[in-house]
């Protein structure tokens, strides 16, 4: 298990499906966690359920000022910023491309691209001056192999990946890194408990994603910059 002892790691979208597994994994490695989401109360409940101490905050990453206030508050309270893990996610789709409502694109652009832009613009200066700062985003295989019923979602994920790879170029030579974890459909421990008879072998497990996040936040991944790590279960 990679040691993250003492590192201050912010997790955007920590209240989502991946949150409990990723938060638990990073906390078990000794990281000091700052959890951000639209609502603070679920983050407080998550920290209590996991039995950990965490810095929690209500953050609207569609608002650039909110993103900046978040990172400035973390640095003020903890004295440093070592990594940002972006778990903000969501989906709309399911219709053939000629029928797909373009309002889906507007929604997904904000959720999957604008949140990445605001977060990285706020955090990047701190990650670069850190000397070993880390940015990690969880993406989808749809970004590289889109299906026609997921056009807007795939395009938004591709945009977020491109932004992250451009950030990796900005980080080059600073010691900071930015990387993408590409996944298929997620299976969480809660999903397994709810459907013990279901075959999840083709899914990407939340535990595997959390391990990849921990690795990319560690010193062991110092040479990993601008990379896509693909985790697609048995698919």
Identify whether 165 is part of a domain: yes
Is the pLDDT confidence value at 7 over 70?
Answer: yes
| Domain coverage including residue 214 | 8-231
Return d(Cα 133, Cα 125) in angstroms, integer.
10
Return d(Cα 76, Cα 233) in angstroms, integer.
40
The count of domains in the chain is 1
Return d(Cα 44, Cα 39) in angstroms, integer.
10
User: Residue 211 belongs to a domain with what CATH number?
Assistant: 3.40.50.720
Residue 182: enclosing H or E segment and its boundaries? Answer: strand 177-183
Is the pLDDT confidence value at 131 over 90?
Answer: yes
Identify whether 36 is part of a domain: yes
Other beta carbons less than 10 A from residue 235's beta carbon: 11
Helix 206-217 with 19-28: angle, nearest 10 deg: 40
In tens, the pLDDT along 203-234 reads 889 999 999 999 999 999 999 999 999 997 55
Identify whether 2 is part of a domain: no
Question: Nearest CA to 107 among 67, 61, 153, 159?
Answer: 153
Q: Are 49 and 190 in contact (CB under 8 A)?
A: no
User: Across the chain, what does the average pLDDT equal?
Assistant: 94
Identify whether 3 is part of a domain: no
Output the pLDDT for position 203.
84
Return d(Cα 173, Cα 110) in angstroms, integer.
30
Identify whether 81 is part of a domain: yes
Q: What percent of the chain has pLDDT over 70?
A: 98
In tens, the pLDDT along 175-195 reads 999 999 999 888 888 888 889
Output the pLDDT for position 191.
83
Identify whether 1 is part of a domain: no
pTM attached to this predicted model: 0.95
Output the pLDDT for position 94.
92
> 41 CB contacts (<8 Å, ≥6 apart)?
none
Q: What 3-state class would DSSP assign to 10?
A: strand
In tens, the pLDDT along 38-75 reads 999 999 999 999 999 999 999 999 999 999 999 999 99
């Amino acid at each position: 298990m990679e040691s993250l002892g003492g590192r201050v790691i912010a997790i955007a979208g920590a209240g989502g499906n991946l949150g409990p597994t990723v938060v638990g994994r990073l906390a078990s490695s000794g990281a000091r966690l700052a959890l951000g989401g639209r609502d603070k109360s679920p983050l407080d409940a998550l920290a209590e359920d996991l039995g950990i101490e965490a810095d929690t905050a209500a953050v609207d990453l569609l608002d650039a000022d909110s993103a900046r206030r978040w990172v400035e508050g973390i640095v003020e309270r903890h004295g440093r910023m070592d990594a940002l893990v972006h778990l903000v996610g969501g989906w709309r789709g399911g219709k053939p491309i000629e029928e797909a409502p373009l309002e889906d694109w507007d929604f997904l652009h904000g959720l999957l691209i604008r949140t990445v832009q605001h977060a990285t613009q706020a955090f990047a200066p701190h990650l670069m001056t850190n000397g070993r700062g880390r940015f990690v985003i969880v993406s989808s295989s749809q970004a590289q192999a889109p299906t026609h019923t997921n056009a807007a979602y795939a395009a938004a994920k591709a945009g977020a990946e491109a932004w992250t790879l451009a950030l990796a170029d900005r980080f080059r030579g600073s010691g900071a890194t930015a990387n993408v974890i590409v996944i298929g459909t997620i299976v969480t421990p809660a999903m397994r408990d709810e459907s013990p008879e279901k075959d999840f072998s083709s899914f990407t497990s939340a535990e595997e994603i959390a391990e990849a996040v921990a690795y990319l936040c560690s010193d062991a991944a110092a040479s990993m910059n601008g990379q896509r790590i693909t985790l697609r279960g048995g698919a």
